[in-house]
Structure formats: C-alpha cells, structure tokens
C-alpha cells in the first residue's frame, strides 16, 4: 500500500475529490424521498391495505428500485470520500518523507551548500556543512573587498545569461588556518522562466591546492636541477647523448647535449629521432666501417664499444670524433644507448705533428752526424780557398775561379744546414727580421728568367718577426721553388703577408698573441687529399726528381720558430701555403759588414778542435790576421794550456772553442772550467750546429761571440776583431 500510494500525486487526489462532488450535485438535483424507516412503513401500509391496485403496485416497485439506486450512490460517495481522505493522508505523509530524505541527502554532503533568493540573496536552504563552516552566511554575505569587483559580472551571468559561475577563494578557519574553496553558482529558473534562486556549492580544494603547490615546488626544483644539469653538461667539452632503439635500429627517443652543436655545427634537434642525419655527416670513407662495428655490437650484445672516425662539420671542415658507447639491452627487446662524443681533432693534429717531428728527429740523428763531418771537411776546403784568394788576389783569372769554388762550398754549406735542421734540440739563432724584404728579394731572385710572374700584397707596416734569417730564407726558397715546379706552364704566383692577432678562438695550434702570416699561392696542378696529409713527411714527394726534404725541412724550421704552417689544395686549381710566425717586439739589427781587407791584429789565441785539418787551417787563417796561435785537441788540453800560460804571466787574449768534441770535453764544459781559473776569459764558440741553443744564446753561456763552420775568412775576422776590441 505504501508503495502504491507513494505513487499518488496531488492531481490524482484532486480528481477523486472532484468526482465525489459531481455525484453529490447530481443527487441533490433529483426528487429523492427520505430513505430508511419511511420506506419500510410504506411497505407495511401497502401490505395492510387489501384494496391495492395494480397501478399502485407498479409505482411502488419503481420507488423501491429507485430507492436502492440512491442507496448505492450514497454508499459510493461515502466510499470515495474515505478514499480521498486516505489519499490526502498518504500524499502529505509521503511528501514529508521525501523532504526528509532530500534533507538527509543534503546534510550528508561534506561540502557546504546554500540555496538563496536571487533578488535579495536571503538564504532559504543550507546543509549542515554550510551551517558548520559558514553559520548563516553565504558567499554573497561574506564578500571580501577584492572580490566585489567581479560580483556584478557574476550576477549578470547568473540571472540574465543563466550561466553557471565558478570561482576560487581563500578563507581563514576559526583556528587561523587558510583553506581554499572552489565555489560553484547555479541559477534555478521557476515556471515563469525567471531566475528565482541561486544554488551555491563550496568544494574544499585545500588538499589539492597544497598538493599542487608541492607539485609546483617539485617542478621548480626539477626545472632548477635541470638547468643546473644543463649548465654542467654544457661545461663539459664532450657531447653526451642517450637514445632508445628498437630491434630494427629505429630510434624511438633520443637526447643530445647542447655541446653537439659545437662539435658538428648542427643543433641537437637535427639528430633527435633520425639516425640518418648522423650518418649524413660521417665521412663517406669511414661510414661503412662504423656501420659494421655498430651492427656487430648489436648482434653480439656488446656492453661497451669504442670507435674513432671522421665527420664533416657544417662549415665543411673535417673533425675527428672519438665515441665511447654503453649498450643496455632491456627485457622488452629495446636497447638503451648511452654515449660520449669527443672532438679529438686537436689531439689528432697534435699526434700527427708529433709523428712528423719524430720522423724529422729520426732523420736528424743520421743527418747530424753526417753534417758534422761534412762541415769539418767544408771548413778545410773553404779556409784554403780563402787563403788562396789572398795569395792570388793579383791574378784575376785565378781569383774568379776561386770565387766560384767558394760559392760552391757555400751551397754545400746550405745543404748541411738543411740536414742539421732535423737535429734534435736545435734552436734557430733568432733576431728581429723584416719578412717583407726577404719575401720580395728571395721570390724575385728565384723566379728570374722564368715564365712565372710574382704579385706581392705586403703592407708597409708589416711587423718584424723573430727569426733566423738563414732558416727563414730556406723556408721561402722551398715554398717558392715548390710553387714554381707546380706551374710548368707559367702564370701568376701570389705572395701575400699581413699582421694577425690570434685570440685563441680558431683551431690554430698557436699561443694567443701577435703573428705575421704570409702565404704563397700558386695556380698549378694542385695536390690530392691523401698526398696533402703527407706533404711534410721526410722523403715524401710527388715529383720524380724530388728529394722529399724541402717541405719537411720547412715544417721543422717553422716548428722551431714557434710558428705554424699548413696547406690547402685542390687538384687542377692550385695550392696555398699559410705560414704563421711570432711577431717581434724588437727593432731590426743593423747588418754588420764583413771585412774584405784585413788589417793586422795583435793578440794571443788558443784554438781548440778535435779535427787536425780544422786546427791547421784555423791556425793559418788566424796567423794571416797577425795573431799568435796555440792549438788544443780537446777541453782538458785547452784548460791545461790556458792555466800554464797564466802561471807564466803570458795569458791568452782569446780562446776559440769547438762546441762538440766526441768522447771529450766540449766548448760548453770547457768555458765553465776556464771561468773557474779566470773570470775574465774571452771565448768564442765554434760549431757546425748553428741551431744549437749555445749558438743561439752564446752570451748566456759565457761566450763573447760565435762563428759557424765552415769558416768564412771574412766572418772569422769580423768576430775575432770585435771580441779582441772589447777585451782591450
């Protein structure tokens, strides 16, 4: 019954009441006699009346039937009335129960809920949560000053546009804690289509807000850590990368540190997810081997691989890459590849430079011994020629022959100097030198009579360089001769020079500072790439008649001058050599004129040399200068003779010491021993090793001068006279 009546609505109850009323009105309009005892009395009267007619009997039956019908209607009215009252009872009772049920639902909500009028904001309904947290207050009754500006906009959206409104607010609890709420406002439209009420629903988002704040702090910390990580990664000169690869080799995900752009010229995004882009920059000659190694590492499931190969930088330059890779084979068949890419271009260049130097030094071991002996022979020959010229100075024909012989000896001397350039530890005798003058003089002389025209681009303010003039002339000669041989059909040879300040930004193997750069540019046959890598190797040559020493010597000389030489070439277009030499802070020395006529000198000289031939020719030359000469074959003998002369009060005015005495005391050791017995000893060092440090810086070793073997009479006279003059 409860379920049945529960389904009754107010319109159904009203229908039953209306039906009952209609029956009552119908009954009132009929002429109905009073029911009950009155009918019964009439029946008894009829029974007692013996004289009743048939008509009266018929009327009586009709009245009885009508009376029964009215009795039935009356009973029905009574029944319907009872039913209506029962329906009304159950309707209002059910409505109350529904209200209680609805109220229980509202009160079971943990979040505050208000229903208030739209016009005056008066609360008409609030659940327990609302009364607990905001007693007798809805949002519109607790508006903060900073929130008043948006109220009008909300009311317009709620009432006029009938749109829901959502807003976040912060409120303080009675305990003083801050809570965050998400407020939802919904318009309720009545039957007339107007917004009569507004539902206000508060959702406590404090926990979510705190979690979000923690998440944001974690995100900020993570972002900061990421930035710090990126800084650390960027400070590492090597590129770090990581990739996730499937069985087919397809890259699913990848990361490259920013340094990859410095190494390759391409940003990290260029390589992410596309292995073909990396293959594109690998040198074509190295790509097959690299692919083979990678394939073998995957198939054999190697945990680590190390490879070295070349790549082509975005600017077109060749870079050497050393790769160290760790492979982690995951259970799902994927492979985690982590690696480091190191740009070892400078290391490789240094290694190649070192190999060249080692090759040169290995040649120098042989060359030094040969040149030493050869120089001694040349000294004797050249000395005798000089003496012969003095004797035959009145015979022009003999004089001219002797001059040619002397020139031949000097050319042989230059050859020994080329060999000695390879000698280990040798340093050039440097002084401030005008490179501009040397370039013009040497190039013009070497190209005289050829079909090659030199063109010079040399500024007037070109800095001086610290160089050994003899060795620098050798460099220029080798480069110009090389260019001349590369242009058999003639043409133009460009000689350029300019001042250059190296700031350390490019990949030149030079120290920061001032340099003079000169280049020799020919338009000849050119050099292929493989040969270009070996042009400075000893004995390497592309010419049928070449010795393979010219460029090797050039490289060694420039290296010993703390400079750098490199070459660029294209087959059929020509070759350009670039030479960098440190600029000098000194002024150019005035060239000393060598004597051609010899005035008589006075003094006593001690000459030390291990070669009998040198002693003889040296003594004769010095005697021709007017000097008294004593001879010694080694340092020990020289010291003994010098000490004995001191004891006799007949000291030597000058000592000439050979720098190198095989198996004995050489010039460097001898001068130290002599200084112990005579601090004022005057000594000249003599050697065929013009690049030896003692020859370069003789004064710091206690010498007053130096002469290079083979002796030229004019050079010997000038040096001896200068030292003796200082002594006097």
- Cβ atoms of 682 and 728 within 8 Å: the answer is no
Q: Which of 59, 82, 107 is the last residue of a domain?
A: 107
CA–CA distance, 305 with 292 (Å, rounded to integer)? 12
- Could you write out the DSSP letters of every residue in 229-264? HHHHHHHSSSEEEEEEE-TT--EEEEEE-THHHHHH
Find tokens 């982590």 and name the residue.
Answer: 338
pLDDT of residue 56: 63
Domain co-membership, 88 together with 125: no
Domain end (from 85, 107, 129): 107
How many CA atoms does the CB half-sphere of 552 hold within 13 Å? 27
Q: Is 633 domain-assigned?
A: yes
Q: What is the pTM of this model?
A: 0.43
Name the token pair of 543. Answer: 């010419």
> Does residue 140 sit in the same domain as residue 86?
no
406 in a structural domain: no
d(CA 590, CA 578): 29
Does some domain include residue 474?
Answer: yes
Q: Are residues 538 and 457 in the same domain?
A: yes
Would residue 389 count as lying in a domain?
no
What pLDDT, on a 0 to 100 scale, did the predictor assign at position 269? 84
CA distance 686 to 262: 53
Note whether 570 and 442 are same-domain residues: yes
> Using CA atoms, how far apart are residues 702 and 685, in angstroms rounded to an integer?
10
Instruction: Identify each DSSP E strand in 77-177 by its residue range.
Output: 113-117, 123-126, 165-172
417 assigned to some structural domain: no
Residues 117, 195 share a domain: yes
Cβ neighbours for 272, distance < 8 A, ≥ 6 positions apart: 254, 255, 256
**Considering its fold, how many domains does the chain have in total?**
5
Asked whether residue 504 falls in the same domain as residue 562, the answer is yes
Mean pLDDT by 10 residues, the chain (728 residues): 41 57 52 50 56 62 69 64 62 66 74 81 79 61 57 76 81 79 84 84 84 85 78 76 81 84 88 76 90 84 87 89 88 85 84 69 67 76 80 78 78 67 59 88 84 91 88 88 88 93 81 92 87 74 59 84 91 92 79 62 92 87 91 93 93 93 89 93 85 80 89 86 79
Compute the distance between CA of residue 242 and CA of residue 253 in angstroms, rounded to an integer.
8
559 and 611 inside one domain? no
Q: What angle do CA 56, 62, 63 make, to 5 degrees?
A: 90
Residue 364 lies in a domain: no
Q: What is the CATH number of the domain that holds 550?
A: 3.30.565.10
Residues 646 and 701 in one domain: yes
What is the 8-class DSSP label of residue 391? Answer: H
What pLDDT is attached to residue 22?
57
Tokens 């280049």, residue? 519
Note whether 66 and 176 are same-domain residues: no
Bridge partners (DSSP) listed for residue 114: 126, 200
Q: What is the DSSP string of 651-669?
A: --SEEEEES--TTS--HHH
CATH number at residue 690: 3.40.50.2300
Q: Supply the pLDDT for residue 395.
A: 79
- Domain final residue, candidates 287, 321, 343: 343
Asked if 686 and 609 count as a contact pair (C-beta separation under 8 A), the reply is yes
Same domain, 246 and 189: no
Burial call 56-89: b when 16+ CB within 10 Å, e when fewer: eeeeeeeeeeebeeeeeeeeebeebeeebeebbe
Whole-angstrom Cα distance, residue 121 to residue 118?
5
Q: Which helix (H) or strand (E) holds 133?
A: helix 128-133
Residues 578 and 612 in one domain: no
Residues 451 and 574 in one domain: yes
User: In this structure, what DSSP letter does residue 533 have?
Assistant: T
Q: What is the DSSP letter of 275?
A: H
Q: Is residue 385 a part of any domain in this protein?
A: no
Residue ranges making up the domain that contains 512: 435-582
Is 388 part of any domain?
no
Q: What's the CATH number where 307 sits?
A: 3.30.450.20
């Amino acid at each position: 019954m409860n379920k049945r009546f529960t389904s009754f609505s107010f319109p159904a109850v009203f229908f039953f009441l209306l039906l009952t009323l209609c029956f009552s009105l119908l009954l009132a309009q009929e002429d109905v006699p009073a029911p009950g005892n009155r009918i019964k009395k009439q029946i008894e009267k009829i029974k007692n009346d013996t004289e009743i007619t048939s008509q009266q009997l018929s009327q009586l039956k009709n009245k009885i039937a009508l009376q029964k019908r009215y009795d039935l209607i009356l009973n029905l009215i009574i029944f319907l009335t009872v039913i209506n009252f029962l329906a009304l009872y159950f309707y209002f009772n059910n409505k109350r129960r529904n209200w209680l049920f609805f109220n229980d639902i509202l009160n079971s909500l943990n979040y505050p809920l208000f229903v208030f009028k739209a016009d005056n904001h008066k609360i008409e309904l609030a659940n327990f949560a609302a009364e607990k947290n905001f007693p007798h207050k809805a949002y519109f009754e607790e508006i903060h000053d900073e929130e008043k500006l948006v109220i009008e906009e909300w009311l317009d959206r709620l009432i006029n546009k009938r749109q829901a409104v959502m807003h976040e607010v912060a409120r303080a609890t009675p305990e003083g804690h801050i809570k965050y709420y998400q407020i939802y406002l919904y318009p309720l439209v009545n039957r007339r289509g107007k917004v009569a009420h507004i539902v206000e629903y508060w959702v406590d988002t404090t926990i979510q807000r705190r979690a979000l704040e923690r998440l944001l702090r974690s995100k900020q910390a993570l972002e900061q850590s990421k930035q710090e990580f990126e800084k650390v990664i960027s400070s590492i000169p090597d590129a770090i990368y990581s990739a996730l690869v499937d069985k087919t080799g397809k890259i699913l995900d990848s990361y490259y540190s920013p340094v990859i752009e410095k190494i390759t010229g391409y940003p990290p995004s260029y390589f992410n997810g596309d292995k073909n882009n990396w293959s594109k920059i690998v040198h074509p000659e190295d790509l097959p081997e690299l692919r083979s190694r990678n394939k073998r590492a995957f198939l054999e499931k190697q945990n680590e691989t190390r490879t070295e190969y070349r790549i082509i930088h975005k600017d077109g330059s060749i870079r050497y890459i050393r790769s160290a890779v760790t492979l982690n084979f995951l259970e799902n068949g994927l492979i985690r590849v982590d690696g480091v890419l190191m740009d070892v271009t400078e290391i490789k260049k240094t290694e190649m430079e070192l190999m060249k130097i080692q090759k040169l030094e290995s040649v120098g071991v042989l060359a030094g011994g040969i040149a030493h002996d050869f120089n001694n022979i040349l000294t004797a020959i050249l000395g005798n020629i000089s003496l012969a010229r003095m004797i035959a100075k009145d015979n022009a024909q003999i004089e001219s022959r002797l001059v040619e012989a002397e020139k031949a000896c000097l050319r042989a001397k230059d050859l020994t100097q080329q060999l000695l350039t390879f000698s280990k530890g040798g340093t050039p005798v440097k002084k401030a030198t005008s490179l501009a003058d040397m370039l013009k003089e040497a190039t013009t002389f070497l190209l005289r009579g050829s079909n090659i025209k030199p063109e010079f681009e040399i500024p007037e303010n070109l800095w001086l360089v610290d160089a050994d003039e003899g060795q620098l002339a050798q460099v220029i000669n080798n480069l110009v001769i090389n260019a001349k041989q590369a242009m058999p059909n003639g043409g133009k040879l460009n000689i350029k020079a300019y001042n250059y300040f190296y700031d350390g930004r490019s990949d030149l193997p030079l120290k920061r500072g001032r340099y003079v750069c000169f280049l020799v540019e020919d338009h000849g046959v050119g050099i292929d790439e493989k040969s270009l890598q070996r042009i400075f190797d000893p004995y390497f040559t592309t010419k049928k008649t070449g010795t393979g020493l010219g460029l090797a010597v050039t490289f060694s000389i420039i290296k010993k001058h703390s400079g750098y030489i490199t070459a660029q070439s294209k087959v059929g277009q020509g070759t350009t050599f670039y030479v960098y030499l440190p600029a000098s802070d000194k002024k150019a020395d005035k060239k000393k004129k060598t004597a051609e006529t010899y005035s008589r000198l006075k003094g006593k000289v001690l000459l030390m040399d291990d070669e009998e031939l040198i002693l003889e020719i040296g003594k004769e030359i010095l005697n021709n200068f007017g000097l008294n000469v004593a001879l010694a074959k080694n340092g020990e003998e020289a010291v003994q003779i010098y000490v004995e002369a001191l004891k006799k009060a007949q000291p030597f005015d000058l000592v000439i010491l050979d720098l190198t005495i095989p198996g004995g005391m050489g010039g460097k050791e001898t001068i130290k021993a002599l200084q112990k017995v005579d601090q004022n000893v005057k000594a000249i060092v003599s050697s065929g090793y013009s690049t030896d440090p003692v020859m370069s810086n003789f004064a710091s070793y206690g010498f007053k001068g130096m002469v290079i073997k083979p002796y030229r009479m004019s050079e010997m006279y000038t040096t001896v006279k200068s030292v003796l003059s200082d002594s006097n």
